[in-house]
A and B are shown apart, each in its own frame.
Chain A
């Protein structure tokens, strides 16, 4: 990504707003933007979801492939997550090889899903030692107005819940739903004007500093954490964020599980 111009006035204004406990778009500190989640939106994918948060729009598609298992884990399948931030999604996005930002996004979303154990890789076994399923999650940004991390993570788990293992197409049995035994949810926080806020839009990301991403699974178990960009935070700031995360993850989990 090209280094965007960050107007001095923006940072100053965001700090003034933060002092008054306000955000530029009128939201409260922990408020989310309008959210919409749809599943089963991509006909060629074996599972899919479209997530819109404010003006941020992403797709996640699940594709399955068959591969030979690793010799030391003959009855376990594989999981791979990739995130694409193509130029379609923003003026600031340039063509070229995957940016460090998009690679980080893919890996952070992957860890949240993988470490939660929501997919038991033994469920992906077809013939031990010969054939196992590989699950590929492709996160794809269409419009970047901030907080792609959460949009990708939400779309990914919604798409997984919506997936069908295509046994018939690969001639290895009947089609069956992909077993997904829990719903990990990611919440991201950006330090804007000196304090953390939830679901930052692009202007807040631009004028803000460091960010923290937390993925929680069932019973508030922590499955992944990531701190990004330059800056510091205290234990009490983190504890405050964690409280908000527990609340928000629970809300989002209900939404995903009800689709």
Chain B
């Protein structure tokens, strides 16, 4: 564990340090608790392998790896896995499949005609409408930009990298769009839809592979910026 980094005396594990499940982060148990931490035996401990984050009085651990758990409002790319007379089952790469009811489809569908409208294997851009306590979700295709995807391809990054790619003043995902001149849609479940010219697609693919290889680096943002600049300079 790191021994340097900002520590205000209350915390046993400094903000920014790497922790493993069970590590004590703080003995001050009144603070707000975010993701990846819990109260146990009078302390706040980490429950996940990751980095301690203290922001606005809230303690959390940003995990190194995590699965995708749908949240209402998430834009996601899913694949139709099956259907019934009035719903489709959508694979989101999450622990549970989502359901898309007939009433939330982008086109008018007759009862029993779901298979004709959208068959198994179809890729769709949709939005998470609501979730229940077991993380099952309902998705909708009624909304701006939500549709069947008929061209391009789908790449992916681990879900915990989505925020890394989309945050900051100059998000990495925008840099990738600019460098490649492709249409790129980064979805909350880590899937990335790409469409464009072959050369641009090559840039996107290679950059994503680079990101996956360096995923655990703390300086991923600047590394990717350098990588893209090098590519453009050649």
Contacts and interface: CB of A to CB of B under 8 A. Distances in A.
Nearest to B81: A5
A230 interface: no
Given A13-B152, A13-B153, A8 B121 contact: yes
Which of B123, B149, B209: most chain A Cβ within 10 A? B123
B198 A7 contact: no
A25 interface: yes
A91 to B, nearest CB: 11
B91 interface: yes
Contact of A10 (B81, B153, B205, B206): B153
B121 A7 contact: yes
Which of A8, A20, A22: most chain B Cβ within 10 A? A8
Contacts of A13: 152-153
A88 interface: no
Contacts of B153: 9-10, 13, 24
B205 A24 contact: yes
Given A13-B153, A25-B209, A7 B123 contact: yes
A5 B149 CA distance: 16
Interface string A1-30: 000011111100100000010101110000
Contact of B91 (A5, A20, A25, A26): A5
A5 B205 CA distance: 22
A20 B154 CA distance: 18
Contacts of A22: 198, 202
Interface string B111-142: 00000000111110000000000000000000
Interface in B203-232: 205-206, 209
A26 B199 CA distance: 11
B155 to A, nearest CB: 9
Which of A6, A9, A10, A25: most chain B Cβ within 10 A? A9
Interface in B68-99: 79, 81, 91
Contact of A9 (B154, B202, B209): B154
B231 to A, nearest CB: 13
Contacts of B79: 5, 7
A76 B209 CA distance: 51
A10 B79 CA distance: 11
B123 to A, nearest CB: 4
A30 B81 CA distance: 33
Nearest to A9: B123
B209 A5 contact: no
A5 B90 CA distance: 11
Contacts of A26: 202, 205-206
Contacts of B150: 9
Interface string A34-63: 000000000000000000000000000000
A227 B123 CA distance: 31
Contacts of B149: 9
A13 B120 CA distance: 17
Contacts of A24: 153, 205
A9 B147 CA distance: 14
B122 A8 contact: yes
B14 to A, nearest CB: 35
B139 to A, nearest CB: 16
A13 B198 CA distance: 11
B50 to A, nearest CB: 22
Nearest to B202: A26
A104 B19 CA distance: 45
Contacts of A10: 153-154
Contacts of B120: 5
Contacts of A7: 79, 121-123, 154
A97 to B, nearest CB: 26
10 nearest CB pairs, A to B: A13-B153, A8-B121, A9-B123, A7-B79, A7-B121, A5-B81, A7-B123, A20-B198, A5-B79, A8-B122
17 contacts: A5-B81, A5-B120, A7-B121, A7-B122, A7-B123, A8-B121, A9-B121, A9-B123, A9-B150, A9-B152, A9-B153, A13-B152, A22-B202, A24-B205, A25-B205, A25-B209, A26-B206
Given A7-B79, A20-B198, 9 more contacts: A5-B81, A5-B91, A5-B121, A6-B121, A8-B119, A9-B123, A24-B153, A26-B202, A26-B206
